[in-house]
Structure 1
Amino acid sequence: MTISGKTMLAGVIGWPVSHSRSPALHNYWCARHGVDGAYVPLPVAPGALAAALKGLMAAGFRGVNVTIPHKEEAFRLVDALTAAAKRAGAVNTIRFEPDGTMRGDCTDGTGFVANLEAHDCAMSGQALVLGAGGAARAVIAALLDAGCDVLIANRTRDRAESLVAALGGGTVIDWDRWPDALARCTLLVNATSLGLAGHQDHDWTAPLREAPAGMTVADIVYVPLETPLLRAAKARGLKTVDGLGMLIQQARAGFAAWFGTWPDADAETRVLLLRGLNEGGQG
């Protein structure tokens, strides 16, 4: 990659950010699509986001991705928000406009739905989402906007009820009753920390006995790629969708906004990221 004075610049802001797979993904897309662009990791400590955004804009960057712990602050700092960002209550993609303003978007939910559609999952019927945190909100909003009837189960019921009120849709069920709802669902989404590697002892096998044969099971995390839930779902013979496709799909809108090209989300792109994950990369 050759960087010149004409090279279009973008990057990812986070703390930490050294683990991020986004630079590898976006720079791969630049090379593949013949784009004179470069995408770099930008470690920005908490409390320094506003100054960083102002400096990057002044330096001629096209925009940035924003990841943990800055998504909610970015939501408050930008000048304009897309409908998806407003629904999600967070920003993960910022475009610096020629007039000096910042436009914030949230592509997490739309990336999740696009990943389901890429796996030929119908956006109809009833979906059960486990969790009511920040990531869950973006996913639930996108599912509602896609026409799904969404059930939400969270260990803290009040938080789920607040989410339903904010989004204007969805139905809350008690956490200990979510297995009873599976029989009428076409999609189960785990947006809780129970998908992570440290929760290998959580029993998913018993509740999945209630799942209908045609149900799809999705997890939003991709480290590990096959979470305990997805492993149990495969053993039950259910269709599974891992979180790596969501990472790829949510990145496409940002690349298009900064570099003017919609990049491919194909098997070759997935192989690139899998190679990085096997080497210990994340994010």
Structure 2
Amino acid sequence: MTRLLGVIGDPVAHSLSPYIHNHWLRENGIDAVYAAIEVKADELAASLESLCAHEAIGLNVTLPHKESVLRLAATASDTARRLGAANTLVRTPEGQWHAENTDAPGFALTLDYGDINVEGREVFLLGAGGSARAVADVLARRGARLTLCNRTIARAESLALDLAPAARILSLEDGLAQLSRASVVINTLSLGHSGETLRLPESAGGIFYDISYGKGAAAALAEARRKGWRALDGLGMLVAQASLSFELWFGAAPDLAAAHARARSLLEAVQ
């Protein structure tokens, strides 16, 4: 019987995760299919129950569900609990969801592959949602001089209290006004999916890293390049966290470099 996996979120139609995972499934001879499944916030609990009842093997989770899904899972890894967010679910033999977080180690891998050293550098993190929590944890552990910028100050303060107590807190407006002092900017805001754009200051070669990719990141990355930033999208993070999820589900570690090259070629073909 062909088994089901997928990514749940809203929006989710743009996701390259089905392309990435279905290739790995074929490559490993696994009788399963991976689909993008749109789930509204008020449908999350019922959708998780239904997918579990249909014996889905596992799920990836994207915005806006990463924090909510952790509360709904029966069990969770220490990392997911500490971060307060989950992006991967594994169906247990008992027929329950176990929550994991592969965003944090996936982001860490992209810093390593991109030779991005954040220790002692001014790093501004835009956003304070589920993805931002994973990113902030990695940055704090690697010794970044971290500034958290978010529209809702209270959410940034909660993130700092949990994961980055030394971080400076700014409103999003104040943070954007001070970005010129940053060596690295990490954008976790989903502005591109709603048609909004960021106004960035000029940079003398700083790094602007948007964890989105494709159309969701296009406007922000174009603005960054115009202003002299080294612009990076989140495709590498997507592939890295996907590989870690696949390994959790099947015990097989896919080839990251080959998967990234395939995904990049597809992304460039559809842009």
Q: TM-score, normalised by structure 1?
A: 0.78
**Aligned with 2:60 (options 58, 62, 65):** 65
Which SS does the other structure have where 1:227 is aligned? helix
Identity %: 37
- 1:29-63 alpha-carbon deviations (Å, 9 max, x no partner): 12234444332334445444434434433443321
1:71 to partner: Cα distance:
2.9
Give the whole-Å Cα distance in 2 for the aligned partners of 1:38 and 1:240: 33
Q: Which range is displaced more, 246-255 or 170-179?
A: 170-179
Which SS does the other structure have where 2:256 is aligned? coil
Equivalent residue number for residue 187 of structure 1? 184
1:104 to partner: Cα distance:
0.4
CA gap 1:226/1:165 in 2 versus in 1, 3 angstroms: closer
Q: Which range is displaced more, 44-53 or 126-135?
A: 44-53
Letter of the 1:141 counterpart: D
Whichever of the two has the greater Rg, that structure is 1
1:216-231 matched pairs, under 5 angstroms: 216-224=207-215, 227-231=218-222
Letter of the 2:143 counterpart: G
Q: Does 1:140 align with 2:136?
A: yes
Equivalent residue number for residue 262 of structure 2? 271
CA gap 1:28/1:150 in 2 versus in 1, 3 angstroms: same
1:66-215 matched pairs, under 5 angstroms: 66-126=61-121, 127-169=123-165, 170-173=167-170, 175-176=173-174, 179-180=177-178, 182-183=180-181, 185-194=182-191, 198-200=195-197, 202-204=198-200, 207-209=201-203, 211=204, 213=205, 215=206
Q: Which range is displaced more, 66-75 or 250-259?
A: 66-75
Which SS does the other structure have where 2:195 is aligned? helix
CA gap 1:101/1:222 in 2 versus in 1, 3 angstroms: same
- 1:199-252 alpha-carbon deviations (Å, 9 max, x no partner): 35x532xx234x5x4x32211221337634433443455433212222212211
Which SS does the other structure have where 1:147 is aligned? coil
Letter of the 1:188 counterpart: V
Letter of the 2:237 counterpart: M
Q: TM-score, normalised by structure 2?
A: 0.81
Kept after mapping to 1: 8 A contact 2:236/2:260: no
* Aligned-pair Cα RMSD in Å: 3.1
Instruction: List gaps (5 residues or longer) in structure 1.
Output: none
1:197 to partner: Cα distance:
7.5
Letter of the 2:150 counterpart: N
Letter of the 1:199 counterpart: E
CA gap 1:189/1:43 in 2 versus in 1, 3 angstroms: closer
Higher relative CO (Cα under 8 Å, sequence separation at least 6) belongs to: 1
Give the whole-Å Cα distance in 2 for the aligned partners of 1:138 and 1:257: 18
